[in-house]
Amino acid sequence: MQVKKLLHTRMRVSDLDQTIQFYTTVLGLEVIERKTSPRGSQLAFLKVPNSDELIELTSFPPSGPVRVQEDLVHLAFQVESLDDTIASLVAKGIKVTDGPTQTSSGSRFIFIDAPDGYEVELIERPPDVKIV
């Protein structure tokens, strides 16, 4: 067996509306679908620009509180200009929690926190770099 492609990554969140607002207003993602699953979970699928993979956010309060372990999971997004990104984040009141850091390949990155403590990495890559 061999899989064909990555379709989506699921993240459980405490407050679906708050998390959607973060990903849409801070990062510019688009909600393409919201629905309730057969078991009662509230679901939202977010589209990332220039990507086929989706992010599925789910809220199911009967499962208990969301506890995100530090340094276990993060999403990474490429940005055009890290300096412009930092300026935009500061203007929106979003704190950079780590960085900026430069890699040996010339990529630069920072981390910010999404709701529930999920980390988000924002990476600026030189034109000739494929992977950080």
What DSSP designation does 20 have? H
- Percent of the chain whose pLDDT exceeds 70: 97
Report the alpha-carbon distance of residue 112 to residue 85 in Å, rounded.
11
- DSSP annotation of 2 reads -
Is residue 101 within 8 Å of residue 108, measured between CB atoms? yes
Outline which parts of the chain fall under CATH 3.10.180.10.
1-60, 70-127
Beta bridge partners of 124: 108
pTM of the predicted model as reported, rounded to 2 decimal places: 0.88
Q: Which residues are catalytic?
A: 121
Instruction: Report pLDDT digits (tens) over 64-107.
Output: 888 888 777 899 999 999 999 999 999 999 999 999 999 988 99
Mean pLDDT for all residues in the chain: 92
Instruction: Enter the CATH code of domain 70-127.
Output: 3.10.180.10
pLDDT higher than 70, residue 129:
no
CA distance 46 to 54: 6
Q: Which CATH superfamily is domain 1-60 in?
A: 2,3-Dihydroxybiphenyl 1,2-Dioxygenase, domain 1 (3.10.180.10)
